[in-house]
């Protein structure tokens, strides 16, 4: 993260709780509906894993899929906080080895450009192919 305080405010808006922090390392451990997320300030003290120079947006090409109990509530928090989803709420069915798996989902970028795909499971159905 480029700024831990900015990221904590954003993730708090989404509904994440801070389980604990290590302020001296600019690190926080977050939780939402059983999803655990560790965030830390990129230029902070302590151990850092830098494989290349960081340039915005961070995490290009990656999106984190986060299952939540009430995806509409998370989207409402995003909108109230003044953030626009990159992918609006949608219902998508993905082919898997066991048929089609359904998601009600949207995608939003965090302050550093990491893509977060929040979804609610719609179950499975038979593949009609």
CATH code of the domain containing 39: 3.10.180.10
Strand partners, 63: 115
How many domains are there within the chain?
1
**Burial letters 17-32, b for 16+ CB under 10 A, else e:** eeeebeeeebbbebeb
Model pLDDT, residue 22? 92
**In a domain? residue 52:** no
Residue 57: is its pLDDT beyond 90?
A: no
Query: Is residue 53 assigned to a domain?
Result: no
Q: Beta strands of 1-129 (E only): which ranges?
A: 17-22, 27-32, 35-40, 63-67, 87-96, 99-109, 115-125
The string of pLDDT tens digits covering residues 74-94 is 999 999 999 999 999 999 999
Reduced to 3 states (helix: H, G, I; strand: E, B; else coil), residue 35 is: strand
pLDDT in tens, 9-24: 999 999 999 999 998 9
Instruction: Please check whether residue 68 lies inside any domain of the structure.
Output: yes
Grade residue 129 by pLDDT with cuts at 50, 70 and 90. low
110 located within any domain: yes
What is the pLDDT averaged over residues 66-73? 96
Kindly state whether residue 31 falls inside one of the protein's structural domains. yes
Domain that holds residue 69: 4-43+58-125
């Amino acid at each position: 993260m480029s700024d831990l305080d900015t990221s904590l405010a954003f993730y708090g808006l989404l509904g994440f709780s801070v389980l604990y922090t290590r302020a001296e390392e600019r690190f926080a451990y977050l939780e939402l509906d059983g999803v655990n997320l560790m965030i830390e300030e990129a230029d902070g003290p302590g151990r850092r894993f830098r494989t290349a120079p960081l340039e915005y947006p961070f995490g290009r090409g990656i999106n984190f899929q986060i299952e939540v109990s009430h995806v509409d509530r998370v989207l409402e928090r995003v909108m109230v906080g003044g953030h626009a989803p990159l992918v609006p709420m949608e219902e998508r069915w993905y082919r898997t080895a066991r048929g089609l798996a359904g998601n009600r989902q949207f995608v939003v970028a965090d302050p550093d450009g990491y893509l977060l795909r929040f979804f609610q499971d719609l179950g499975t159905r038979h593949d009609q192919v």
